[in-house]
Each structure stands twice: as C-alpha cells, then as structure tokens.
Amino acid sequence: MNENIPIFITGTDTGIGKTFITALLAACLMDKGYRIGVQKWISTGDSDVCQDTQFVHSVALDLWHGRDGQVPLHLFDQGCYRLSFPSSPHLAAEIDGVRIDNHVIEREFSRARDGCDILLVEGVGGVMVPLSRRYLLIDLVARLKIPAMVVARSGLGTLNHTLLTINALRERGISVIGIVLNSQAERDEEFEDKRIVEDNKLVLSDLGHIKVFGPVERVRHPLDALGYIEPVAKTIIRACVKNPVLP
Ligand SMILES: Nc1ncnc2c1ncn2[C@@H]1O[C@H](COP(=O)(O)OP(=O)(O)O)[C@@H](O)[C@H]1O
Ligand SMILES: [Mg+2]
C-alpha cells in the first residue's frame, strides 16, 4: 500500500492542538494499516530535537506497545529547521542567523512523501505565518499542493479565525478536507458553553461548506481521544486514498 498522500495539519493559532491532533491521526491511521510519516518543516523555541514530532512518536509507541513489529511511523526530521527563538519563523531564523530555503523544504517533503503511505505535515502557528520577510507558509503549501485539515478551538472566538483560515486556504487553491474542533475547556471553562460549541459547529459547516469534526474533549492521555478522531481518519482515507483497503 503506497499511496503517498500528504496532509497539511494547520490551525487557527499556536497552541490550538495541531500536534495533539496530528498524534491522534497518526495513531488512528497506523491502526488501519497505513505507514505514516510525520514532518514539521520548521519549529521555533525548539532544540535540535523537534518536540512536536517527538510527541507524535511517543503517542505512536504507546499505541504500538505489546504489538509485533516496529511501529509504522517515521519521523522525517532530517533537513528541517529547528530554531531556538520562540517567535514567528522569519524572526527566529534571523535571530539564529539561518535562511529558510524553500527548496530544502521541498526536497525533504518529496523524500518524506515517497517514504510512507500518508505523510502528516504539521504547520507552524497559523497559515499566514511568514517564513521570511517576503514569503508566507501558506504560499509554500499552495505551491506543493497539499490538502489541509484545520484544527480550531471549539468554543468562543473560533468563528472568525476559522472562517478566515479556510478562506485564505481556498483563495490559494488549497483544498480543505475539514475542520477539527478541539476543546480548550481546562483553560477556558466559560468559553466552552455547550450552546456556543454546538452552534459553532453548525455555523462553520453551513458558512464554510465544510465537514466539521469534534469537539475533541480534553483528555488525560491522547489515546483516550482516539474515538473522536476515527471519523476524521475515515474522511482523509475517503478524500485522499485512491484504493483504500481498510474501512
Ligand atoms: N484535547 C486535548 N486534551 C488534552 N490535552 C490537549 C488537547 N489538545 C491539546 N492538548 C494539549 O495542549 C497543549 C497545546 O497543544 P499542541 O497540540 O501542542 O498545540 P499546537 O501544536 O497547535 O501548538 C499541549 O500540551 C497538548 O498536549
Ligand atoms: Mg505543535
């Protein structure tokens, strides 16, 4: 099964749950028999080791614990940019004295894509984040023609951010597979009023003409949220995989 499908996991903001949802998707798709690749082109406020891909790996290892064979997850970290300053990539690169070279990212992306069935590329912050003073992340995603999945908060404040994000993606011809609402309940109880969350889901699917999943509730361990991600994984398979062999 070598489908070579890339998905760009973006979000309406930083800290919204991109890594968390990427980890769940990787685990769920692995469980269905796919070989998953994970890549994060640029991380900031990071060491040489990418914290986000490491998180995805640790969740995959937990899922695979006690099973035969190696975990079918590969981290394609080679050649990616790990910047120490916690800021937008353009500034972090300037401070670290690095130039983010799109050709390097494109090369590593192609390599990763060829090395797995489904490649999950985690974004950096939101879609309009600058990689340099002249170039935005969204322009690179459009150039590479990667379909996107948007992670958004489930409660108050999501409508504007999410509709702007999907509009920006579509304006550049990027196909948006769906929105995954992720709960911020622990931090913002009052923002997660049930009436707001339910209505957000309706408004986003009606005005955005898009599939809206979730809300993924706050859980103690990521694998406790696998059930929420099952329909997202199925939609990805239906939308992107040519000959799905598994449900
Ligand atoms: N549904 C959830 N349940 C529990 N913890 C979550 C959930 N979603 C996100 N988190 C936690 O919230 C923090 C921010 O999420 P993260 O995925 O790192 O955001 P991003 O990648 O968009 O910056 C992390 O510590 C993550 O593990
Ligand atoms: Mg992240």
Closest CA to ligand 1's atom 9: 17
Whether pTM > 0.85 for this model: the answer is: yes
Listed residue (212, 229, 234, 109) closest to 159, CA to CA: 212
Q: Is residue 201 annotated as a catalytic residue, yes or no?
A: no
Q: With a cut of 70, which residues of the chain have pLDDT below it?
A: 1-3, 186-190, 242-247
Q: How far apart are CA 23 and CA 28, in angstroms?
A: 9
Residue to mutate (ligand 1; options 8, 12, 13, 20; most atoms within 8 A of CB): 20
Give the distance (Å) from ligand 2 centre to CA of residue 184: 15
Angle between helices 158-171 and 137-144 (to 10 degrees): 50
Q: How far apart are CA 208 and CA 216, in angstroms?
A: 19
Taking the CA of residue 25 as centre, how many other CA atoms within 13 Å lie in the half-sphere pointing to its CB? 30
Looking at residue 244, what is its pLDDT?
A: 61
For tokens 């990212």, name the residue: 105
Do the Cβ atoms of 112 and 106 come closer than 8 Å?
no
User: Coil, helix or strand for 157?
Assistant: coil
Residue type, position 86, single letter? P
Q: CA triplet 55, 119, 165: central angle to 5 degrees? A: 85
Looking at residue 153, what is its pLDDT?
A: 96
Q: Specify which residues 43 forms β-bridges with.
A: 82
Residue 153, φ and ψ in degrees, nearest 5: -70, 150
Q: How far is CA 12 from the centre of its chain?
A: 11
Structural domains in the chain, sorted by start: 5-240 (3.40.50.300)
For tokens 């990539």, name the residue: 89
Do the Cβ atoms of 75 and 53 come closer than 8 Å?
yes
Q: How far apart are CA 109 and CA 144, in angstroms?
A: 9
Listed residue (7, 51, 49) closest to 28, CA to CA: 7
**Catalytic-labelled residue, pool 40, 194, 201, 234:** 40
Specify the DSSP class assigned to residue 133.
S
β strands within the chain, DSSP E: 5-11, 36-39, 42-44, 73-75, 81-83, 118-122, 148-153, 176-182, 212-216
Report the nearest atom of ligand 1 relative to the CA of 17: 17
Looking at residue 10, what is its pLDDT?
A: 98
Give the distance (Å) from ligand 2 centre to CA of residue 15: 7
User: Coil, helix or strand for 243?
Assistant: coil
Q: How far apart are CA 222 and CA 24, in angstroms?
A: 7
Number of Cβ atoms within 10 Å of the Cβ of 155:
23
Report the nearest atom of ligand 1 relative to the CA of 122: 21
**Tens-digit pLDDT profile for residues 156-178:** 999 999 999 999 999 999 999 99
**Tens-digit pLDDT profile for residues 53-66:** 999 999 999 999 99
